[in-house]
Amino acid sequence: MFSGKSAASKWMALLLVLVLAPAVRAAESAPPIPLEAFAKKNVFTALKLSPDGTMVAALVPGARAGAIAVLSVPELKAVGGVRLTGDQQFVRVWWAGDKRLVAELGYRDGPLDPLSSTGDIVTFDATGRDLRYVIGQQGIDGKIGSRLGKKTLKRVWATVIDPLIDDPNHVIISSREINTGEDSKAVVSRLDLRTSKLETLAVAPAAGFADFLLDRQGQVRFVSVSAGPFQYKTWKRDVGQEEWQPLEKEGEFAKAEPVAFAEDGKSVFLASRHFGDRSCLVRQTLDTGALTKVACHEAADLDHTIDAFAIGGEPIAAVFEAGKPETRLLDTGHPNIELLKLLQAAFPGKQIRVASATRDGGRLLVTTQDDRTTADYYLFDTKSRNAQFLTAELEWLDPELMAARQPVSFKSRDGTPLHGYLTIPRGSNGKNLPLIVHPHGGPFGIREHWTFDPEPQMLASRGYAVLQVNFRGSGGFGFEFSRQGRRAWGTTMIDDLTDSLKGLIAQGVADPARVCIYGGSYGGYAAMMSAVREPELYRCVVAEAGIYDLKLWRDDSDVADSDFGKRYLEAGVAANEAEMIAQSPLTYIDKLKAPVLVIHGEEDRRTPFSQAKALRKALDARKLPYEWLVKAGEGHGFIDEGNILTHHQTLLAFLDRHIGAKP
């Protein structure tokens, strides 16, 4: 898994060049922006400031294997780092003291698949030395580079919930034994990073994946447990008590998840639906249980909070996002609210997040972003009130050459409000445009955001408008909105896409003779299902890593390998084989009129290559026109930069032939 010393040194030298070399800005080349710029991956992401403020740790995604770089602040000179081999990635990294780090390993099947944790934890010092595998599902046989060998006592799925920055030898973790199946209860433990020994602090009241919240004294006080697909339940307990008390009544859907404890220790902040269908920020008094509404939005769920700047600080702002993000400052009188106002004034129109902070809150690592910028990192001194620019993600893409991403809203045929985003090519008057409908993957709980999105930007740079809709089933717009997407993959979700497109046509934004639909994963399914349900609307279809035969998907993919996956299929997709047939695009393939570009990776585990072959067989049998882009060695989407470039070139050539946009 981990490279040797000499290979690591060469890698660190290369990283230093990548980090410190002058950026090749898109503005230096004649438009349009080269496609290579959109195919290139981030050098690093997810920076975290050390507790003493002298270093940052950064994830380095890599094409296959991931890495972590440690850089000095503010010079960003390489101090150390580690990298993985094979197809392993780092999912998260924490500072466990001023000079030691803890990281969680994971994998992804491709860019269309979320980065998933394997529950394995490693530790190393800031120079990259003393690298140790500590605990995880490989622990019992000491695989993936463990120097502890069989000292690890259990095979578990583990994650860090408190890095204990003042104790470099221990962290607090949540873990579940994996050899007992899905019926095991999560356990909170103090983990010794030197010996892998565990000291149990709490056990969840029910089996399933669990999220715990500790109070400011390190006591385990709240837990939310996933009881199955689309279900969770939340409990609390008093200080010094082992007994858990449910927040909801018996048989009632869960309404609240813990967010953070108030700094006075007398109340807790919850993301709660106690005051309506949408999630609000709510404050609960611990001794009485009384609930007070802190911040709500009429259209959107609570997206996230901005917390006070010292580690473990309470929320000082709530962020909601129906269109552009709305930051609502809390009326708590916390002194950090004035500093947040200062940052908002300094970066107008930007989303501001405090990515990490020193232990005393004196220095912050602040990110700013918007629809044209991925993330700019600043080091903010709260005493001098000075913000120093450090670096930017995807810095070779000039924000001045990116397209605007406009919030749009529509009404569905049943009157439900729909929200989404429209990316308009630069220099366009916004009328009579060639348009790409671009449904997201997932689909449940996933949503489009007002943020930088490289693929719509790439399409807009070539003259295409791009519509992205938060259809039913998407997250962020209330419990009922999400619930209405269940077992409605091919009906309500597709209707929402259709109704939104027709809304843009009626407004004169989209040229009705120049509309295509393109999506990946569930988006690939939605592209094909839209094309067979609305054959007159679309001039072409691009289906990437999609699902076209639900029964075949159930039988071939890894989704149905677990009890959880089987319950997900039944509750969210189709309850039986008759529903699977009724909601499969191949059932209606005779209605297809538009030519299709089929894109797939041969090693895709999430939506196996058999889906693309089944679609090709159906198209061949009916002599329907299609094009084919398949790559060996690729999974759920393309990772290799050369393959991504080929993907973009093939996609644009196909679109140009059928709806004819020019740069």
Domain-located, residue 148: no
Could you tell me the pLDDT band of residue 29, with boundaries at 50, 70 and 90?
very low
Calculate ∠ Cα 94-95-96, nearest 5°.
Answer: 110
pLDDT(188) > 80: yes
Could you tell me the pLDDT band of residue 265, with boundaries at 50, 70 and 90?
confident
How do residues 556-603 score in pLDDT, each as one tens digit? 887 777 777 888 898 889 999 999 999 999 999 999 999 999 999 999
Q: How far is CA 197 from CA 139, 152, 628, 643, in A?
A: 12, 8, 53, 45
Q: How many CB atoms lie within 10 A of CB 558?
A: 11
> Residue 185 is encoded by which pair of tokens?
């209860």
Domain-located, residue 28: no
Domain-located, residue 113: no
Residue 531 lies in domain: 403-659
Mean pLDDT of 452-471: 96
Tell me if the pTM is above 0.85. yes
Q: How far apart (Å, rounded) are the C-alpha atoms in residues 591 and 213?
A: 52
Q: How far apart (Å, rounded) are the C-alpha atoms in residues 234 and 255?
A: 8
Could you tell me the pLDDT band of residue 349, with boundaries at 50, 70 and 90?
very high
Domain-located, residue 33: no
pLDDT(332) > 90: no
Domain-located, residue 456: yes
**Residue 80 or residue 137, greater confidence:** 80
- Cβ-in-10-Å burial (0-12, 13-18, 19+) of 650 comes to middle
Whether the CB-CB separation of 661 and 540 falls below 8 Å is answered with no
Site of tokens 């947040």: 340
Number of domains into which the chain is organized = 1
Domain-located, residue 395: no
What type of residue is 111?
Answer: P
Domain-located, residue 560: yes
Q: How far apart (Å, rounded) are the C-alpha atoms in residues 227 and 483?
A: 16
Reduce the DSSP state of residue 383 to 3 states and report it.
coil
Reduce the DSSP state of residue 390 to 3 states and report it.
strand
What's the pLDDT score for residue 110?
Answer: 83
Whether the CB-CB separation of 220 and 210 falls below 8 Å is answered with no
Q: 234-257: buried (b, 16+ CB within 10 Å) or exposed (e) per residue?
A: bbbbeeeeeebeebeeeeeebbbb
Could you tell me the pLDDT band of residue 108, with boundaries at 50, 70 and 90?
confident
pLDDT(18) > 50: no
Q: 386-392 and 417-424: which strand pairing?
A: unpaired
Task: Tell me the CATH number at 416.
Answer: 3.40.50.1820
Phi, psi values for residue 147, rounded to 5° = -95, -5
What's the pLDDT score for residue 28?
Answer: 39
Q: How far apart (Å, rounded) are the C-alpha atoms in residues 102 and 132?
A: 10
**Residue 582 or residue 252, greater confidence:** 582
Whether the CB-CB separation of 636 and 110 falls below 8 Å is answered with yes
Could you tell me the pLDDT band of residue 251, with boundaries at 50, 70 and 90?
low
Domain-located, residue 557: yes
How do residues 276-331 score in pLDDT, each as one tens digit? 999 999 999 998 889 999 999 999 999 999 999 887 789 999 999 999 999 999 99
Mean pLDDT of 357-386: 94
